[in-house]
């Protein structure tokens, strides 16, 4: 008997929450960019800018992930080999891009642990552990990842997972000061993004908009770079209706939420990534996440824009007052948050060179705006999009299609809740004039679960939009009990015959001609969770993939030059630097983040995640990559203990597992344990783990506030049944051979 892979296997394909709020939005320049009189000349700021270094997360102040180094180039990149590797001692997701300054590599790992390494040998100089309580992992929607550190004048800055800022001595790792950025610890805040530095401040946002009824309120805050003293805070969404506005922009935002807004909700709008600082205009540009909750029947609200969710915002770096905003997805009902990283550039637009900010957004459109005023200059689909037929440049508003409305029946919406482009950095090469985008060509069948006839109506406390990705595990018949009637996969495939519905593609985009120049498919059938991108003046583009390979392409033509199999799943973006006359290319490897419950792609699933979490550094003439330690029978099922359970109890357990467990636990080798393959000793303590926190020190917080003893017994029965089916099928196959 084949194990049931219905909703439980496919819950990794959904985010939970719902509404149909197809409303209007737009852009508004609230004020001209503030005068820079009295501020330091940006060129005088003590950024290390030598081409041989990598001083900022994105390589430079414009966030291009581009390097002027040419020693490794399109004529010799085939000679790349391993220079050194550093084991990070963890089995969780790695999303940071390291910095290299004066021969030292600084980077962050899970929880916000910071490493300082010799950039030529990988020898550890020092390590800083912020001492996070593992219980706080429950506040992070998508693993305990961290996207990088910042450096200024001998000090390294990091935001740890619990929302604290740390200033560290770059020579010793000793803490100089710390600041708590969380305004309300009763809400589910966490910090996973890289901090940014202005002329005099450290700035960070927080995550927390993806957790349904328990979601937090978005904001960014600034702290004095020398002392850690609080400077200012900008909230992205209004407070409860009976509370005062913290700053005047919120009065306008509140009007866009409708008169029936329920004050018990925090409204979302988190700023969990994508913070950028432009010293030329002395402004911070950042994107905001989705509104929360989406389920409008809970709030009783009408269709509205929900400002400033799913928006790009620019604020004065000195006082946090808004200069302008542009809302990409008004009334977002598809999880199209706008926190993807930005690139600043000087480009010809309409015959005039302009300073612009560019973003390949989650909603599938590539946006170009005037950096000083926020005026929308271009908005073009860079991947397949069917929720809108385009963006009206005069109003800035998307032109919705009937596919966008899923309130009456499920719709297959492109892009999916995962986005056409997500946090993985894209790269802009001034040499080729192209932007290299790690693109997701992926839909989701999005539905109103409350009215679709399934056992699950809506699950608060996790995510916000009910969507099932029609990948190789999509099984409408098997999912019907939980989710109701869903469209057949063959019917869905008719929309774009000849291509797989689920693909990841590296695309070279011309932002002036507004078109794709070349593309390379990087994974098909199921998401590979491929990595971010680096480009260089050596005319190469470098990207890691979920299958453990690193690919080097000709930046002009897209032709592959070199492939290196590492055995380590790669999501982060590479970087490059030069020390002692030798150019290196480095990348952090490790699976996790938004894919925490997703099975690892087979080629990298063969290896243990613990020792695949590495920093890998390459040079011309380097050696082979030592493969990680193999997993032991990663797909085998142990013989389960004897158990008794009714069909109704198992069915109830599947529902509760889907609601409360599958956010972190999938079926197959992954970051977290596959609960359908548990050893006897774990089965024996299952209730203590879930209800009493027996494994809390390892990050498994107790769920006794959301599930009962009977629920836990049912969940356990369901998992035992899954293990029994898998073991019997495995035994039958072995006997047949």
User: At residue 223, what are phi and psi to the nearest 5 degrees?
Assistant: -135, 140
Q: Is the dihedral of CA 299, 304, 306, 307 positive or negative?
A: negative
Going from the C-alpha of 39 to that of each of 116, 284, 313, the distances in angstroms are 32, 15, 22
Q: Which range (284-293, 382-391, 682-691) has the least confidence? A: 284-293
- Give the chain's count of helices (H) and strands (E): 10, 41
Q: What is the pLDDT of residue 6?
A: 35
Confirm if 220 and 272 have CB atoms less than 8 A apart: no
Rounded to 5°, the CA angle 123-126-128 comes to: 135
DSSP-assigned beta bridge partners for residue 689 = none
Q: What confidence tens digit (pLDDT) does each residue in 377-429 have?
A: 999 999 999 999 999 999 999 999 999 988 889 999 999 988 999 999 999 99
Q: Is the link from the previous residue into 250 a cis peptide, with omega within 30 of 0?
A: no
Per-residue DSSP letter, 287? E
Burial status of residue 730 (CB atoms within 10 A of its CB: 0-12, 13-18, 19 or more):
middle
Q: For position 463, what pLDDT does the model report?
A: 52
> What's the mean per-residue pLDDT of the chain?
85
Residue 632 is predicted with a pLDDT of: 62
The answer to whether the CB of 100 falls within 8 A of the CB of 53 is yes
579: pLDDT strictly greater than 60:
yes
Q: Is the pLDDT of residue 3 over 50?
A: no
Q: Burial of 586 by CB count in 10 Å (0-12 exposed, 13-18 middle, 19+ buried)?
A: buried
The DSSP secondary-structure symbol of 492 reads H
Residue 524's closest CA among 496, 546, 503?
Answer: 503
Tokens of 147: 């996207």
Alpha helix (H) residue ranges in 369-498: 476-483, 489-493
Mean pLDDT (whole number) for 658-662: 81
> Please, are residues 142 and 596 in contact by the beta-carbon 8 Å criterion?
yes
The active-site residue out of 335, 441, 471, 721 is 335
Strands (E), 303-392: 311-316, 322-327, 343-349, 352-360, 365-370, 376-381, 388-391
Decide: 239 and 355 in contact? Cβ < 8 Å. no
- Smallest Cα–Cα separation from 530: which of 584, 469, 573, 587? 573
721 carries an active-site annotation: no
Cα angle: 702, vertex 482, 384; to 5 degrees = 100
Instruction: Taking residues 483-504, report their average pLDDT.
Output: 93
Phi, psi of 159 (to 5 degrees): -105, 115
Name which residue leads in pLDDT, 138 or 727.
Answer: 727
> Which phi-psi region, left, alpha or beta, contains residue 590 (left: φ > 0; alpha: ψ -120 to 50)?
left
Q: Write the pLDDT tens digit of every residue in 423-470.
A: 999 999 999 999 999 999 999 999 888 888 999 876 654 455 678 899
Is residue 411 within 8 A of residue 445, CB to CB? The reply is yes
Higher-scoring residue by pLDDT: 731, 530: 530
In 3D, which of 29, 79, 55 has the Cα closest to residue 624?
Answer: 79
pTM for the whole structure: 0.88
CB 325 within 8 A of CB 275: no
Q: Please give the average per-residue pLDDT across 602-607, as a whole number.
A: 58
Given a cut of 60, whether residue 17 has pLDDT beyond it is: no
Smallest Cα–Cα separation from 86: which of 620, 630, 622, 588? 588
Span 260-285, pLDDT tens digits = 777 777 788 999 998 999 999 999 99
Beta-carbon contacts of residue 708 (< 8 Å; ≥ 6 apart) = none
Beta bridge mates, 562: 552
Residue that is written with structure tokens 């409305």 in the block: 405
**What's the pLDDT score for residue 44?**
38
Show the domains of the chain with their CATH numbers.
10-47+105-532+553-561 (2.140.10.10), 633-736 (1.10.760.10)
* DSSP 8-state symbol, 307: T
What is the per-residue pLDDT for 408? 86
Q: Which two tokens stand for residue 480?
A: 């019907």
Within 600-670, strands assigned E span 614-620
Model confidence at 18, in pLDDT bands (50, 70, 90)?
Answer: very low
Higher pLDDT, 148 or 91: 148
Task: Pick the closest to residue 222 from 114, 93, 318 (CA basis).
Answer: 318
Name the CA dihedral angle for 40, 43, 46, 52, rounded to a multiple of 10 degrees.
Answer: 170
Averaged pLDDT, 583-599 = 73
DSSP type of residue 607? B
- Give pLDDT tens digits for 163-215: 999 999 999 999 999 999 999 887 778 899 999 999 999 999 998 666 655 56
- With a cut of 50, say whether residue 223 has pLDDT above it: yes
Question: How many angstroms separate the CA atoms of 687 and 702, rounded?
Answer: 10
pLDDT exceeds 60 at position 32: no
The crossing angle, in degrees rounded to 10, of helices 709-736 and 647-660 is 100
Q: Which residue has the higher pLDDT, 678 or 7?
A: 678
Residue 350 pLDDT: 82
pLDDT per position as a tens digit, 54-66: 999 999 999 999 9
For residue 503, give the nearest of 555, 443, 565 by alpha carbon: 443
Percent of the chain predicted with pLDDT > 70: 83
Band (pLDDT 50/70/90 cuts) for residue 658 is: confident
Measured between alpha carbons, how far is 696 from 724 in angstroms, rounded to an integer? 27
Average pLDDT over residues 520-531: 90
Task: Give the least confident one: 199-213, 678-692, 707-721.
Answer: 199-213
**Ranges 78-87, 363-372, 434-443, 604-613: which has the least confidence:** 604-613
- How far is it, in rounded angstroms, from Cα 128 to Cα 166? 10
Strands 66-67 and 533-536: parallel
Closest to 588 (Cα-Cα) out of 604, 569, 607:
569
Residue 670 has what pLDDT? 60
Of 32-36, 356-360, 509-513, the range with the lowest mean pLDDT is 32-36
Q: How far apart are CA 32 and CA 698, in angstroms?
A: 50
435 in Cβ contact with 342 (< 8 Å)? no
Structure tokens at 61: 């102040």
What is the Cα 488 distance to its own chain's centre? 29
The pLDDT of residue 45 is above 50 = no
Residue 626 near residue 85 (C-beta atoms within 8 A): yes
Query: How far is 244 from 712, CA to CA, in rounded Å?
Result: 43
> Judging by beta carbons within 10 Å of its beta carbon (0-12, 13-18, 19+), is residue 565 exposed, middle or buried?
middle
Percent of the chain surpassing pLDDT 90:
62
| Neighbouring C-alpha atoms within 13 Å toward the C-beta of 570 | 30
Say what the pLDDT of residue 627 is: 84
Instruction: Say which range, 244-248, 289-293, 506-510, has the weakest mean pLDDT.
Output: 289-293
Q: Are 260 and 298 in contact (CB under 8 A)?
A: no
pLDDT of residue 134: 64
pLDDT at residue 677, rounded to an integer: 86
């Amino acid at each position: 008997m084949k194990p049931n892979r219905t909703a439980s296997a496919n819950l990794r394909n959904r985010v939970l929450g719902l509404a149909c709020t197809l409303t209007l939005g737009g852009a508004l320049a609230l004020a001209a960019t503030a005068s820079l009189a009295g501020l330091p000349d940006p060129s005088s700021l003590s950024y290390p800018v030598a081409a041989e270094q990598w001083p900022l997360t994105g390589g430079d102040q414009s966030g291009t992930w581009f390097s002027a180094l040419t020693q490794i180039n399109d004529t010799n990149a085939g000679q790349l080999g391993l220079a050194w590797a550093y084991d990070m001692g963890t089995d969780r997701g790695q999303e940071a891009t390291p910095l290299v300054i004066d021969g030292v590599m600084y980077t962050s790992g899970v929880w916000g642990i910071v490493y300082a390494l010799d950039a030529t040998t990988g020898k550890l100089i020092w390590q800083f552990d912020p001492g996070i309580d593992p219980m706080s992992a429950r506040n992070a929607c998508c693993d305990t990842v961290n996207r990088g550190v910042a450096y200024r004048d001998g000090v390294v800055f990091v935001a740890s997972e619990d929302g604290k800022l740390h200033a560290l001595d770059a020579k010793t790792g000793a803490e100089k000061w710390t600041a708590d950025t969380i305004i309300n610890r009763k809400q589910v805040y966490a910090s996973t993004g890289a901090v940014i530095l202005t002329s005099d401040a450290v700035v960070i946002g927080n995550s927390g908009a993806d957790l349904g009824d328990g979601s937090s309120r978005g904001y960014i805050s600034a702290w004095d770079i020398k002392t850690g003293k609080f400077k200012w805070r900008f909230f992205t969404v209004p407070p409860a209706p009976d509370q005062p506005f913290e700053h005047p922009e919120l009065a306008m935002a509140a009007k866009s939420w409708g008169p029936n807004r329920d004050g018990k909700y925090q409204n979302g709008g988190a700023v969990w990534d994508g913070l950028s600082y432009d010293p030329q205009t002395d402004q911070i540009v950042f994107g905001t996440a989705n509104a929360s909750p989406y389920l409008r029947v809970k709030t009783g609200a009408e269709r509205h824009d929900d400002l400033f969710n799913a928006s790009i915002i620019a604020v004065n770096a000195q006082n946090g007052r808004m200069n302008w905003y542009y809302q990409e997805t008004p009334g977002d009902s598809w999880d199209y948050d706008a926190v993807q990283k930005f690139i600043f550039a000087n480009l010809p637009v309409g015959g005039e060179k302009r300073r612009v900010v560019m973003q390949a957004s989650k909603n599938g459109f590539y946006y170009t705006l005037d950096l000083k005023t926020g005026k929308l200059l271009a908005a073009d689909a860079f991947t397949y999009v069917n929720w809108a037929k385009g963006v009206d440049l005069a109003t800035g508003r998307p032109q919705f299609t009937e596919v966008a409305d899923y309130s009456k029946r499920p719709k297959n919406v492109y892009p999916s809740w995962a986005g056409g482009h997500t946090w993985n950095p894209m790269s802009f090469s001034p040499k080729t004039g192209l932007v290299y985008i790690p693109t997701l060509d992926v839909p989701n069948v999005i539905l109103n679960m409350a009215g679709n006839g399934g056992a699950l109506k809506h699950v608060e406390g996790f995510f916000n939009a009910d969507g099932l990705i029609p990948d190789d595990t999509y099984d409408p018949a098997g999912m019907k009990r939980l989710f109701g009637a869903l469209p057949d996969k063959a019917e869905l495939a008719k929309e774009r015959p000849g291509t797989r519905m689920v693909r990841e593609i590296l695309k070279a985009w011309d932002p002036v001609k507004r078109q794709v120049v070349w593309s390379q498919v990087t994974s098909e059938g199921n998401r590979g969770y491929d990595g971010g991108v680096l480009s260089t003046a050596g005319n190469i583009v470098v990207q890691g993939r979920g299958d453990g390979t690193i690919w080097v392409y000709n930046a002009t033509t897209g032709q592959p030059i070199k492939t290196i199999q590492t055995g380590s799943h790669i999501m982060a973006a590479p970087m490059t630097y030069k020390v002692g006359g030798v150019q290196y290319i480095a990348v952090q490897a490790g699976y996790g983040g938004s894919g925490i419950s997703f099975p690892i792609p087979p080629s990298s699933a063969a290896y243990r995640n613990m020792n695949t979490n590495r920093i890998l550094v390459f040079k011309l003439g380097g050696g082979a990559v030592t493969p990680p330690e193999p997993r032991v029978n990663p797909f085998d099922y142990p013989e389960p203990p004897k158990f008794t359970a009714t069909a109704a109890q198992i069915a109830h357990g599947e529902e509760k597992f889907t609601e409360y467990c599958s956010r972190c636990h999938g079926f197959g080798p992954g970051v977290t344990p596959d609960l359908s393959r548990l050893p006897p000793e774990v089965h024996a303590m299952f209730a203590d783990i879930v209800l009493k926190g027996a494994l809390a020190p390892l990050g498994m917080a107790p769920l006794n506030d959301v599930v009962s003893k009977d629920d836990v017994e049912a969940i356990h029965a369901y998992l035992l049944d899954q293990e029994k089916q898998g073991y019997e099928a495995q035994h039958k196959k072995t006997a047949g051979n």
